[in-house]
Amino acid sequence: MSGLFDMTGKVVLVTGGSRGLGRAMVQGFAEAGADVAIVSRKLDACETAAAEVEALGVRALPLSCHLGRWDEIEPMFERVWDHFGKVDVVVNNAGMSPLYPSLAEVSERLFDSVIAVNFKGPFRLSAVAGERMFHAGGGSIINMSSTASLTPSPGTAFYGGAKAALTTIAQAVAAAYHPRVRVNTIVVGPFATDVAQHWPDPPDPANPRRTRSGLAIGAPEDIVSTALYLAADASRYVNGAAIRVDGGGWAMGRANAEADAVS
């Protein structure tokens, strides 16, 4: 079974790969033997991450790219392809969910930025990568969606809408490049990343898998096994799927917290 998860000789491109869930996945892919392209807007952060994973004996390419800008995406992908000679896996992880005081106070610029990074960019990268990988023999695309696409709150309204669109379009991209390129989605719940420090109920410093009020949340490394599964041959018969990685959701997390309190 271990061979089904072996990524030796594979090339993985991770957007938003310098921090949070992206950084955890970069680490996991590298530990499984893959070479990695680490992409985000901040080149210095990508370079730091690249140096760290190269210590594992794999190759790493740091690149700066604004995933919300259509015209930057294909050149970035071509640089990765030219550097490694191929790309086997693309992880559409870059995203943004900014805070705002109310729906009525959301500006058009903010709305467009959220749609661009969370939906427009991943769509374009999926199309560019899917076409290239299809003609090269195959590959895997993994979209990182959110449980906000299923149960949005007023504070995640159009972010959740963008992630719902990303989950939907994945099935169309999967159909377009079937059977050589698989396209699947991870629907992510609450995780204790740096962004979580701005939540109304942030992670507990003493227990990173709980918020301060006791709700269960994920640690970044908890995403790695699912991402590795969808990238590797272990999931070769999985295409167009959406897998929730959310610990059962906020409701279950609250129930667990209440159960712990009783016990």
pLDDT at 256: 44
Residue 112 CB partners (closer than 8 Å, separation 6+): none
Confidence category of residue 140, pLDDT binned at 50, 70, 90 = very high
Residue 225 vs residue 251, higher pLDDT:
225
Fold type of domain 2-262: Rossmann fold (3.40.50)
177 catalytic per annotation = no
171-180 burial, b at 16+ Cβ within 10 Å, e below that, comes to bebbeebeee
User: Can you tell me which residue has the tokens 């009020």?
Assistant: 213
Contact 6, 232 (CB under 8 A): yes
Residues 43-59: what's their mean pLDDT?
97
pLDDT at 254: 45
* pLDDT of the residue at 1: 64
Amino acid (one-letter) located at 41? R
* Mean pLDDT estimate for the chain: 91
Does the pLDDT of residue 259 top 70, yes or no?
no
Q: Which residues contact 231 (CB under 8 A, 6 or more apart)?
A: 7, 10, 12, 29, 34, 88, 89, 91, 140, 142
Q: What secondary structure letter does DSSP report for 202? A: P
- The answer to whether the CB of 133 falls within 8 A of the CB of 177 is yes
pLDDT of residue 262: 39
pLDDT exceeds cutoff 90 at 182: yes
Catalytic residue among 100, 159, 229, 237: 159
Residues 225-248: what's their mean pLDDT? 95
The pLDDT tens digits of the residues spanning 66-104 come to 999 999 999 999 999 999 999 999 999 999 988 899 999
